[in-house]
Chains A and B, each alone.
Chain A
Amino acid sequence: MAAEILSQLVVLVLAIALGFELISRVPTLLHTPLMSATNAIHGIVVVGALVIVLTAEDTLTKVLGLVAVFFGAVNVVGGFIVTNRMLEMFRGGSRRKRG
Chain B
Amino acid sequence: MALSTGTTLVYLFAAALFIFGIRLLRSPQTARAGNLVAAVGMFVAFVVTFFEFPAEALTLVLIAVVVGLGSAVGGVIAVRVPMTSMPQFVAAFNGVGGGAAALIGFSEFYEIQLAGGDENLVILLFIFFSILVGGLSFAGSVIAFVKLEELAFGGSVTFPGQKVVNAGLFVLAIALMVTVLAGGPVPVLFAGILLALALLLGVLLVIPIGGADMPIVISLLNAFTGVAAAASGMALGNTVLIIAGALVGASGTILTYLMSNALGRPLSKILFGAVAAAGTGAAAGDGEEKPVTSGGADDVAATLAYDADSVIFIPGYGLAVAQAQGAIADLMRTLEAQGKDVKFAIHPVAGRMPGHMNVLLAEADVPAEKMFDLEDINDQFAETDAVVIVGANDVVNPTAREDGDNPIAGMPILNADHAKRVVIVKRSLSPGFAGIDNPLFYDQDKTMMLFSDAKQGLEGVTQSVKNQG
Contact A22 B356 (CB under 8 A): no
B150-158, B203-211, B244-252, B268-276 - interface stretch: B244-252
Q: Are B70 and A44 in contact (CB under 8 A)?
A: no
CB distance from B208 to the nearest CB of A (A): 23
Bound: A64/B232 CA distance, A: 14
Question: How far is the CB of B219 from the nearest CB of chain A, in Å?
Answer: 6
**Residues of B with C-beta under 8 A to A93:** 362, 365-368
- The one of B96, B246, B254 that contacts A74, using a Cβ cutoff of 8 Å: B96
CA distance A27 to B161 in the complex (A): 41
Q: SS class of chain A's interface: helix, strand, loop or mixed?
A: helix
Residues of B within 8 A of A49 (CB): 100, 103-104
Total A-B pairs, Cβ < 8 A: 375
B391: interface (CB < 8 Å)? no
Q: Indicate if B348 sits at the interface (CB-CB under 8 A).
A: yes
A69 CA to B335 CA, complexed, in Å? 52
| Shortest CB distance B140–A (Å) | 14
> Closest approach, in angstroms, between the C-beta of B354 and any C-beta of chain A?
3
**Which residues of chain B are within 8 angstroms of A22 by Cβ–Cβ distance?**
19, 22-23, 247, 250-251
How far does the alpha carbon of A26 sit from the alpha carbon of B354 in the complex, in Å?
11
Interface size on B, residues (CB 8 A): 116
With A64-B106, A65-B103, A90-B368 as contacts: A47 and B238 at CB distance below 8 Å: yes
Write the B222-247 contact mask toward A (1 if CB under 8 angstroms, else 0): 10011011101110111111111111
The 8 Å CB contact of B104, one of A40, A68, A79, A83, is A68
Cβ of A62 and Cβ of B104 under 8 Å apart?
no
| B314 contacts the other chain (CB 8 A) | no
Q: Is the CB of B100 within 8 A of A8?
A: no
A43→B31 contact, CB < 8 A: no
Name B38's contact: one of A4, A32, A41, A66 (CB within 8 Å). Answer: A41
> Is residue B110 within 8 Å, beta carbon to beta carbon, of the partner chain?
yes
Q: A16-B250, A71-B96 are in contact. Are A94 and B42 (CB under 8 A)?
A: no
- Specify which chain B residues have a CB less than 8 angstroms from the CB of A29 in the assembled complex: 28, 346, 355, 358, 368, 371, 373
Contact A61 B107 (CB under 8 A): yes
The stretch from B45-53, B380-388, B413-421 touching chain A is B45-53
Q: Which of B83, B100, B115 contacts A45 (CB 8 A)?
A: B100
Contact check, B86 vs A19: say whether CB atoms are below 8 A apart: no
A37-B32 in contact (CB<8A): no
Give Cα A7–Cα B371 distance, bound, in whole angstroms. 46
B76 to chain A, nearest CB (A): 9
Cα A34 to Cα B153 in complex, Å, equals 28
What residues of chain B lie closer than 8 Å to A68, measured between beta carbons? 99-101, 103-104, 107
Which one, B61-69, B280-288, B293-301, B397-405, is touching chain A? B61-69
Closest chain B residue to A60 by CB distance?
B110
**Residue from A35, A56, A60, A76 with most neighbouring chain B CB atoms (10 Å):** A35
Specify which chain A residues have a CB less than 8 angstroms from the CB of B242 in the assembled complex: 8, 11-12, 15
A45 touches B97 (CB 8 A): yes
In the bound assembly, the distance between CA atoms of A12 and B235 in angstroms comes to: 12
Q: Please give, as numbers and ranges, the residues of chain B lying within 8 Å of A46 by CB-CB distance.
A: 42, 46, 67, 100
Residues of A within 8 A of B45 (CB): 44, 47
CB distance from A64 to the nearest CB of B (A): 5
**Stretch from B87-95, B164-172, B175-183, B446-454 that touches the partner:** B87-95
Taking CB atoms and an 8 Å cut-off, the chain A residues in 29-81 that contact chain B are 29-58, 60-62, 64-81
B74 at the interface (CB under 8 A from A): yes
Q: Determine if A26 and B26 form an interchain contact, defined as CB atoms under 8 angstroms apart.
A: yes
**Given A33-B355, A82-B93, are A91 and B255 neighbors across the interface (CB < 8 Å)?**
no
- The residues of A that contact B46 with a CB separation of less than 8 Å are 46-47, 50
Which B residues fall within an 8 A CB radius of A? 1-2, 15, 18-19, 21-23, 25-28, 31-32, 34-36, 38-39, 42, 45-46, 49-50, 53-55, 59, 62-63, 66-67, 69-71, 73-75, 77-79, 81, 83, 86, 89-90, 92-94, 96-97, 99-101, 103-104, 106-108, 110-111, 114-115, 120, 122-123, 218-219, 222, 225-226, 228-230, 232-234, 236-255, 258-259, 346, 348, 353-356, 358-359, 362-363, 365-369, 371, 373
Nearest 8 CB-CB pairings of A with B: A19-B250, A73-B70, A78-B74, A31-B354, A15-B246, A81-B78, A54-B53, A77-B74
Additional A-B contacts beyond A33-B31, A39-B248 (11; CB < 8 A): A22-B250, A28-B348, A31-B255, A39-B222, A45-B228, A52-B107, A53-B63, A65-B103, A77-B74, A79-B78, A89-B363
